[in-house]
């Protein structure tokens, strides 16, 4: 980012803080618990077993799911394998440069993986392939196309939507070790999804907590917390927390953030359903 762009960013950060302090509102007039417009489109990538495009305001994220037979982990021989990868295209925002995934992409993948895994969203034990030594490997690839803030919530939504969209390819068992997969033909069999998880990101700016920070609000935030949870039997449960930012939250602020995340998460589950 050049000096002029950095200067403009600092001015915008100061403006965000001033509006919150003096007028008690956000610069785009949203409420502190309001998302920008959310759009979800499934089935956008023909060659994936499941896919989705999610937009939250100006943030755009695409996710694809590939299913392939493979060996289970040695310490979990009766469970399928979940792998999450994330990357930013170079034009997604100014700080991204061409090359391998950076620490931000690695962190994003870990957040998605943790929320899916800790919520036990996928019944991994049901991904064993009968009469073989193989299991299904579920690979989620997430690509951030445009970052206007809160790419974590968009990436989590895109990943879950892609999982819900996924259908198994046709396959034939040749032996215990060999399985032939026809990726051109999809069956009607879906992934064993038992819970729909969610992630709600909350920014702390001048002591105020607000969801879905845009890019300028993220830059102005003292700390950011992503609350991961899931709904089961009409009850909401916490399954993960991920903090970012240079400063911290008080105990009371963490409790408040969790309450907000679970409250808002219920509406995200409805959108995914």
pLDDT-based confidence at 7, cuts 50/70/90? very low
Q: What is the pLDDT of residue 197?
A: 97
- Nearest 5°: the CA angle 215, 217, 223 is 110
pLDDT at 96: 57
- Confidence category of residue 91, pLDDT binned at 50, 70, 90: low
Task: Write the DSSP assignment of 189-219 as a string of letters.
Answer: EEP-B--EEEEEEEEEETTEEEES--HHHHH
Between residues 3 and 38, which one has the greater pLDDT? 38
90, 98 Cβ separation under 8 angstroms = yes
What is residue 123's predicted lDDT score, i.e. its pLDDT?
97
Cβ–Cβ under 8 Å, residues 242 and 226: yes
Question: Which residue carries 């046709």 as its tokens?
Answer: 170
Which of 54-63, 89-98, 181-190, 261-270 is predicted with the least confidence, judged by mean pLDDT? 89-98
Q: Which pLDDT belongs to residue 93?
A: 59
DSSP string, 83-119: EEEEEE-TTSSTT--SSS--HHHHHHHHHHHHHHHHT
Residue closest to 71 by CA, chosen among 118, 125, 132: 132
Q: How far apart are CA 42 and CA 251, in angstroms?
A: 39
The parent domain of residue 214 ranges over 3-272
Residue-wise pLDDT tens digits, 33-75 = 999 999 999 999 999 999 999 999 999 999 999 999 999 999 9
pLDDT of 95 reads: 60
CB 225 within 8 A of CB 257: yes
pLDDT of 190 strictly over 60? yes
Question: Each residue of 94-151: pLDDT tens digit?
Answer: 565 555 567 889 999 999 999 999 999 999 999 999 999 999 999 999 999 999 999 9
Task: Look at residue 11 and tell me whether its pLDDT is greater than 70.
Answer: no
Rounded to whole angstroms, the Cα distance separating 63 from 134 reads 25
Q: What angle do CA 209, 225, 266 make, to 5 degrees?
A: 80
Classify each residue of 124-147 as buried b or exposed e, where b means 16 or more C-beta atoms within 10 Å of its C-beta: beebbbeeeebbbbbbbbbbbbbb
What's the distance, Cα to Cα, between the start and end of the chain in Å?
A: 40
Helix, strand or coil for residue 226? strand
Q: Where are the alpha helices (DSSP H) in the chain?
A: 3-23, 103-118, 151-165, 215-220, 251-272
Residue 226, pLDDT above cutoff 50: yes
Look at the chain and report how many structural domains it folds into. Answer: 1
Q: What are phi and psi of 257, to 5 degrees?
A: -65, -40
**pLDDT higher at 94 or 254:** 254
In CATH, what number is assigned to the domain containing residue 15?
A: 3.30.230.70
Mean pLDDT, range 262-271, rounded to an integer: 95
Give the tokens for residue 251: 């105990």
């Amino acid at each position: 980012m050049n000096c002029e762009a950095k200067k403009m960013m600092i001015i915008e950060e100061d403006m965000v803080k001033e509006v919150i302090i003096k007028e008690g509102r956000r610069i785009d007039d949203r409420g502190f618990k309001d998302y920008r417009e959310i759009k979800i489109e499934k089935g956008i990538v023909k060659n994936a077993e499941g896919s989705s495009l999610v937009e939250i305001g100006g943030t755009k994220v695409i996710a694809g799911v590939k299913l392939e037979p493979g060996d289970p982990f040695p310490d979990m021989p009766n469970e399928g394998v979940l792998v999450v990868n994330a990357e930013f295209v170079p034009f997604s925002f100014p700080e991204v440069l061409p090359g391998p995934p950076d620490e931000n992409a690695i962190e994003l993948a870990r957040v998605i993986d943790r929320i899916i895994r800790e919520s036990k969203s996928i019944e991994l034990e049901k991904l064993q392939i009968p009469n073989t030594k193989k299991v299904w490997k579920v690979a989620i690839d997430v690509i951030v196309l445009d970052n206007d803030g809160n790419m974590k919530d968009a990436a989590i939504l895109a990943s879950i939507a892609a999982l819900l969209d996924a259908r198994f390819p046709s396959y034939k068992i040749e032996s215990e070790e060999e399985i032939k997969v026809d990726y051109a033909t999809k069956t009607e069999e879906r992934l064993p999804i038992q819970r729909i998880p969610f992630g709600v990101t909350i920014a702390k700016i001048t002591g105020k907590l607000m969801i879905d920070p845009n890019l300028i609000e993220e830059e102005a935030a003292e700390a950011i917390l992503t609350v991961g949870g899931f709904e089961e039997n009409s009850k909401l449960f916490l399954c993960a927390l991920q903090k970012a930012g240079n400063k911290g939250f008080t105990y009371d602020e963490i409790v408040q953030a969790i309450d907000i995340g679970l409250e808002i998460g219920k509406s995200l589950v409805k959108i995914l359903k």
